[in-house]
């Protein structure tokens, strides 16, 4: 993706591109953590596997992406004939490579039957060395897709000689291979459900996987669909109308919202009344975004937008460590179970997604996951409470000066909501209540020369969190699941800096946290926590670090720390060697 910054900042990036043509390129991804190299590396763990040998089904091999005409390529999936489900675990593996040269970072996504299995971005290339990177994801919850032959699609829009001038000298070509690993269920264990990239609790291993996976799709006007979908304004929607099975007992929606173009750095946007001084990032509608989910036009859930940072912004900051989840986005799961009774009434229902205050544009992918009541062909129920309303951002501007403007712009959104519903099932009445709390605070601290725009200093500090407590009550008691999501970002930009490569410097810090706790009748049955943090600076000498930690109540633990200096990997902790836990 090319940076979408206006005015003087855009000029900086034009200079940056010209410099790439004659100097060393900057980043690459390697599956090996090699101290002393510039290969891009993360502290992220691999997906833990069961001890059995998997059945491996190749999806495609050596697919190349050099030109826009090759952006969308298809493949055929056939279920593994030697190990029919249920499977204890299914893992998607993808291996990418890019020849040395000059190229922008690009978006890549992979689908089976139009349901998204992978979404992420690529790094920028090394100057002369072929770089490779490895992606894997626990897709056990999508097992229903793999029971029958399906068509798959991989999308990676890239260009080389077919780029418009002056970019027709780009020469980075991507090569991709992918397969699925199927681990047969051990005795007494079915498919399992993991929300934390394979870090699920042992209790989940006996939990069945969703019965149906239904993608939310956007028509391309020619009989097909856009993969991924595009939402260009707050009124644009990704929408699909379904007549769902009349025994739908639980429903969830996996959501990915990737910021693009003017919204690429949405977390640093200004309110529209400050458009005249908005010369750094060039976007409006404040620094608040969220994905909103509606059912038949009624707000039914929200998904926070993750502040992902791509390696093209600024490239010298992301050598050799990328931003959090940059190569592999983590979806956010929205619980729609309180609406199960409504969705099971045999009538068509429309599920839609939009991005609040989208300023152009977002790429979107979403899939509906359904659990069915196999003991009944028809369940009944209703939504009994829904207090979720659209957000009302509060903007506070504390600025002074005219030719030089200094001060802060603060945006806050805080709301609590409860959505409850019940269903009459073959095993009795089940009530589900989702109580959520959202807290958002964004502060832009600026020191701007608003006459010549020769001084543009901006510090961005955005904190977003969503906590939900889901209580499910039935004949077997009450289970309460607490999920806490937090993903703050801080970005400091100083312009001009005459000694800096691009005339400005950036410092960035991200800190993703996800907590999960399950209690039954007041007793904690399982708890887990993920913390993933990164800091990076291109202030000379450039330096970066990442720490990824996972722990759970079953005793699993993973802690990996990596660091770099002068764009070279300098340290890898012992915990990074631990891939099974």
**Burial grade of 377 (CB within 10 A; 0-12, 13-18, 19 or more):** exposed
What pLDDT does 239 receive? Answer: 98
What pLDDT does 3 receive? Answer: 35
* Under 8 Å between Cβ of 259 and 288: no
Phi-psi bin for 518: left (phi > 0), alpha (psi -120 to 50), beta?
beta
Nearest-angstrom CA–CA distance, 432 and 126? 51
State which residues of the chain have pLDDT below 50: 2-30, 191-206, 579-581
228: preceding bond cis by omega (within 30 degrees): yes
What pLDDT does 575 receive? Answer: 92
Bridge partners of 516? 483, 528
| Nearest to 39, CA basis, from 325, 322, 328 | 322
What pLDDT does 190 receive? Answer: 52
What pLDDT does 168 receive? Answer: 96
Query: Residues with Cβ < 8 Å from 523, sequence gap 6 or more?
Result: none
> DSSP letters along 99-138, please?
-SS-----EEEEEETTEEEEEEEPPPPPSSS-EEEEEEEE
What pLDDT does 215 receive? Answer: 98
Residue 3 CB neighbours (<10 A): 23
Nearest-angstrom CA–CA distance, 431 and 473? 5
Residue 464 to residues 284, 422, 506, Cα–Cα distance (Å)? 18, 30, 21
Strands 332-335 and 248-259: what pairing? antiparallel
Answer yes or no: pTM beyond 0.85: yes
Task: Give the three-state DSSP class for 50.
Answer: coil
* Under 8 Å between Cβ of 95 and 60: no
Query: Residues with Cβ < 8 Å from 122, sequence gap 6 or more?
Result: 96, 98, 105, 106, 107, 108, 133, 156, 174, 311, 327
């Amino acid at each position: 993706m090319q940076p979408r910054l206006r005015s003087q900042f855009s000029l900086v990036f034009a200079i940056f591109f010209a410099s790439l043509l004659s100097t060393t390129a900057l980043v690459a991804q390697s599956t090996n953590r090699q101290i002393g190299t510039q290969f891009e590396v993360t502290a992220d763990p691999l997906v833990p596997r069961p001890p059995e040998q998997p059945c491996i089904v190749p999806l495609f091999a050596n697919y190349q992406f050099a030109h826009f005409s090759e952006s969308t390529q298809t493949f055929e999936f056939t279920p593994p004939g030697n190990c029919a489900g249920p499977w204890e675990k299914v893992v998607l593996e993808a291996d990418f490579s890019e020849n040395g040269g000059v190229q922008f970072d690009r978006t890549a996504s992979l689908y089976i039957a139009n349901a998204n299995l992978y979404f992420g971005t690529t790094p920028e290339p090394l100057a002369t060395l072929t770089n490779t990177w490895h992606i894997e994801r626990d897709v056990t919850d999508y097992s229903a897709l793999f029971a029958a032959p399906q068509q798959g699609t991989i999308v990676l829009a890239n260009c080389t000689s077919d780029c418009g001038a002056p970019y027709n000298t780009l020469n980075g070509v991507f090569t991709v291979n992918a397969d699925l690993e199927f681990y047969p269920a051990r005795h007494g264990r079915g498919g399992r459900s993991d929300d934390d990239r394979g870090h699920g609790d042992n209790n989940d291993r006996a939990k069945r996987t969703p019965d149906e996976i239904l993608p939310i799709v956007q028509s391309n006007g020619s009989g097909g669909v856009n993969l991924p979908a595009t939402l260009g304004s707050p009124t644009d929607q990704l929408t699909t109308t379904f007549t769902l099975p009349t025994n739908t007992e639980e429903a969830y929606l996996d959501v990915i919202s990737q910021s693009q173009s003017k919204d690429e750095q949405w977390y640093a946007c200004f309110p529209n009344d400050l458009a005249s001084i908005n010369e750094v990032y060039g976007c409006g509608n404040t620094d608040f975004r969220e994905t909103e989910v509606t059912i038949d036009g009624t707000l039914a859930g929200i998904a926070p937008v993750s502040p992902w940072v791509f390696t093209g912004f600024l490239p010298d900051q992301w050598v050799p460590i990328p931003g959090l989840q940059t190569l592999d986005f983590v979806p956010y799961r929205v619980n729609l179970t309180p609406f199960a009774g409504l969705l099971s009434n045999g009538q068509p229902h429309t599920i839609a997604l939009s991005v609040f205050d989208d300023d152009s544009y977002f790429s979107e992918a979403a899939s509906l996951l359904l659990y069915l009541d196999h003991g009944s062909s028809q369940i009944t129920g209703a939504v009994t409470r829904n207090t979720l309303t659209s957000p009302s951002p509060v903007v506070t501007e504390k600025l002074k000066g005219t030719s030089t403007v200094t001060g802060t712009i603060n945006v806050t959104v805080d709301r609590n909501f409860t959505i409850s519903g019940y269903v009459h099932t073959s095993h009795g009445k089940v009530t589900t209540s989702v109580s959520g709390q959202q807290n958002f605070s964004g502060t832009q601290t600026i020191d701007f020369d608003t006459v010549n725009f020769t001084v543009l200093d901006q510090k961005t500090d955005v904190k977003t969190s969503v906590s939900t407590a889901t209580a499910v009550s039935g004949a077997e008691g009450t289970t309460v699941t607490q999920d806490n999501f937090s993903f703050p970002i801080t970005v400091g930009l100083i312009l001009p800096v005459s000694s800096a490569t691009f005339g400005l410097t950036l410092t960035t810090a991200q800190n993703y946290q996800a907590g999960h706790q399950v209690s039954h009748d007041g007793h904690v049955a399982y708890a887990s926590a993920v913390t993933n943090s990164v800091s990076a600076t291109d202030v000379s000498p450039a330096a970066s670090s990442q720490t990824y930690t996972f722990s759970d109540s079953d005793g699993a633990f993973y802690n990996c720390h990596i660091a770099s200096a002068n764009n070279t990997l300098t340290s890898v902790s012992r915990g990074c060697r631990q891939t099974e836990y």
